[in-house]
Amino acid sequence: MQNPTARLQAAVQKRRGATAAKANAAAAEKPTAPRLLSKSSAEETVMASASLSTRALFKCGPKAFRNSHLHGYLKSVVSFPVSQASDSLYSPIRVVNRAYGSNLIVTALESRGLNTALSSTNGSLKVPEERVTVLVIGGGGREHALCYALERSPSCDAVFCAPGNSGIAQSGDATCIPDLDITSSEAVISFCHNWGVGLVVVGPEAPLVAGLANDLVKAGIPTFGPSSEAAALEGSKDFMKKLCDKYNIPTAKYRTFTNPADAKQYVKDQGAPIVVKADGLAAGKGVVVAMTLDEAFEAIDTMLVEGSFGSAGSHVIIEEFLEGEEASFFALVDGETALPLESAQDHKRVGDGDVGPNTGGMGAYSPAPIVTEELKKKVMESIILPTVKGMAAEGCKFVGVLYAGLMIEKKSGLPKLIEYNVRFGDPECQVLMMRLESDLAQVLLAACQGELGKVSLTWSPELATVVVMASEGYPGVYKEGTVIKNLDEAEQVSPAVKIFHAGTAFDTDGNFVAAGGRVLGVTAKGKDIEEARAKAYDALDVVDWPEGFYRHDIGWRALKHRHMFAH
């Protein structure tokens, strides 16, 4: 096996040759530092330090390892001496490869209270702005979208993703760490310390409910994601409903049950249609919209009698059926301040025309025409801000993203809260990250530091849509290991197309294969919904995966609104 030092040198040389033009263009946009050294002078400074005793750890940043997973973390790639006489360099030293290409950065970490960086650009060295290395926790389409946005963030030095997936690694949007145990806070904290991680972004809900954010924050690592206490907003629907009752947040009327007979009697009294929900986390499958009494009874038996969802279904919430149009509303929260994101709308049912069982989401688009500026203001005033204040009053400040599933009632036109998620939605995250133009790393750091009040967001004026490709049989039993071809060709249909990987792996021949129910998120931007849809479906036509399927009507509500407005 090639030794780590040789691998570092080969990777850097390869990236220098492949991205020199991009590096030069990016360098031209950067401010000139007061003090400049020639490239040769910088090299002489580093080489001259070899005779001195102060030592530093020389690490290779993850962006040097495109198209691969990082196993074993290469914890000590090179160790070399550093001059004690120089004011420019302090131990320990970390070498990383910048987001914009060939620049090799020597970064001093936490020495004498300073963070100084020297980067080689067009034959000179300069001091860039404060930068951060980010670890994204998770391995689905949502996490791929977050890695994609962080990779583009000007202040982001490097992006790790644990465990990630084969598609994330192959795309170059992050270096995947498949053998990092994300269920072990100790392992994650150790990795962060070893690699100088300055921000952890937790994608899925399970690690948050388990308390990963609590442990990371206690260890002094900035973490975007709520504590386990605050994550109860998603971890327990009963907790969320009780908070709504206490702080007058509009939601569907409900009752919570542990006894199946009592639950069935309540259903008889209320009538159908009615909604039955498992109280805890059920991977998006714990909600049944029962159109008949028999369907509701069956759902109650599945959860309370058969125990199909384990402890998550030991309590059930019986909720009134709300008629109207659903929308997803996202807000970043720093404990006290909430900053709304752009709107999005997803498609939960598995089949065209919104038929079949609920899924984790078969597609989405942003913005959602139904979420007007007036409605956004109403949601912030009546739902988001009371929640943020209520959580603070309960002694568990919320830091992270609040994802409110809303129903815009048909009769009143007013929003009601269906449920909260405490992380970005999937696939809504894909369309949001495609449209976000702000530096995501700095925005999320501001949330961790309680400084969202100083932040404003910039979005692309274009509309984005994502169509999910799923394994045949999803959301029921589906087959894994089926080969997927032509993904590179599909992405090349248009510069506006991006394919996010949710459940892919490599087989022994190096082919992408399906490794989950929802497998790909084919995403595109366009000047309007028609153009964005056309680009996404053009790319889907190129993907060669006979065992995969997708909906053909993603965005139909936006089309309806557009046609109504036109007439």
Instruction: Mention every residue, 6+ apart, whose C-beta is less than 8 A from residue 566.
Output: none
Q: What is the pLDDT of residues 314-369, one digit of tens each?
A: 999 999 999 998 888 999 999 999 999 999 999 989 999 999 988 889 999 999 99
Name all domains of the chain by residue range, CATH numbers in brackets. Answer: 132-225 (3.40.50.20), 253-321 (3.30.1490.20)
CA gap 241, 225 in Å, rounded:
21
CA neighbours within 13 Å on the CB side: how many for 393?
Answer: 9
Rounded to a whole number of angstroms, the distance between the first and last alpha carbons of the chain is 66
Q: Three-class SS of residue 81?
A: strand
Residue 238 in tokens: 């009963």
Q: What pLDDT band is residue 284 in, cutting at 50, 70 and 90?
A: low
Other C-beta atoms closer than 10 Å to the C-beta of 13 total 11
pLDDT at 286: 84
Q: 274-278 and 197-202: which strand pairing?
A: unpaired
pLDDT at 327: 85
* 87-101, 143-157, 471-485: segment of lowest average pLDDT: 87-101
Task: Calculate the alpha carbon distances from 14 to 11, 20, 106, 144, 177 in Å.
Answer: 5, 10, 18, 24, 22
Higher pLDDT residue, 402 or 91? 402
CA gap 188, 216 in Å, rounded:
8
The percentage of residues in the chain with a pLDDT greater than 90, rounded to a whole number, is 67
pLDDT at 291: 93
Other C-beta atoms closer than 10 Å to the C-beta of 338 total 20
Q: Is pLDDT above 60 for 524?
A: yes
pLDDT at 179: 96
